[in-house]
Amino acid sequence: MKKTALFAAALLCAPLAFAQQVDLAQSRIGFTLKQLNVPVDGSFARFSANVVFDAKKPEAGKADLTIQTSSINLPTTDAVVEAKKKDWFNTAQYPTARFVSTGMKAIGNGRYQLSGKLTMKGITRDVSAPFTVRDAGALTLVEGTLPVSRLAFRIGEGEWSDTGTIDDKVEIKFRVALKRGA
């Protein structure tokens, strides 16, 4: 009876055993938007990530990332203060944004496609992005760019919804560093 219970517990925990350790210091979530047609780069300093990826079986891969929206970095202090307000990320009411994968697949030439659900400001949308995987010393780097419509998530409401000032298209750039053998 004891062996059966231990075996059942091991089966339930097995998927967690394959999650790869993420090196957050070497990982990055950034974005580029255009303000008056001039590219502006930003990033988020705090996020967590749970990733499972095997290049031999990409369809078994999973990714779950949670971003602390109040950790936004922009070129100026005024821009950071504004981005946290209700019309933008409303960090008081929505302290996190989250991506949960629904599928991964190989698309050839060392490239893969990631699909999933992105939630920002309480709105969830299906998204998809290509990504690459490369070795870098003791790390495996997963890198890609996810184009999103900021207005589809109500990011930049009211006077900020004018796409002549700030373009609707935002490119989220991600690099997740996975520790090999960890």
The answer to whether the beta carbons of residues 73 and 80 sit under 8 Å apart is yes
Q: How far apart are CA 46 and CA 29, in angstroms?
A: 9
pTM: 0.86
Q: Is the pLDDT of residue 18 over 60?
A: no
What is the average pLDDT across 39-58? Answer: 94
Question: Alpha carbon 77 to chain centroid distance?
Answer: 24
What is each CA distance from 93 to 28, 75, 76, 87, 89, in whole angstroms?
24, 24, 23, 11, 9
Query: pLDDT at position 182, please?
Result: 54
Q: Is the pLDDT of residue 42 over 60?
A: yes
Task: Determine the number of helices (DSSP H) and then strands (DSSP E) in the chain.
Answer: 2, 10
Residue 171, amino acid:
E
Query: pLDDT at position 34, please?
Result: 97
Query: pLDDT at position 110, please?
Result: 86
Mean pLDDT of the chain: 89
The answer to whether the beta carbons of residues 51 and 142 sit under 8 Å apart is yes
Domains of the chain and any CATH numbers: 19-179 (2.40.128.110)
Query: pLDDT at position 12, please?
Result: 37
Q: How far apart are CA 53 and CA 140, in angstroms?
A: 10
CA neighbor of 147 nearest in space, from 160, 129, 161, 124: 129
pLDDT single digits (tens) 91-128: 999 999 999 999 999 999 889 999 999 999 999 999 99
DSSP state of 29: E
Name the pairing type of β-strands 38-44 and 139-149: unpaired
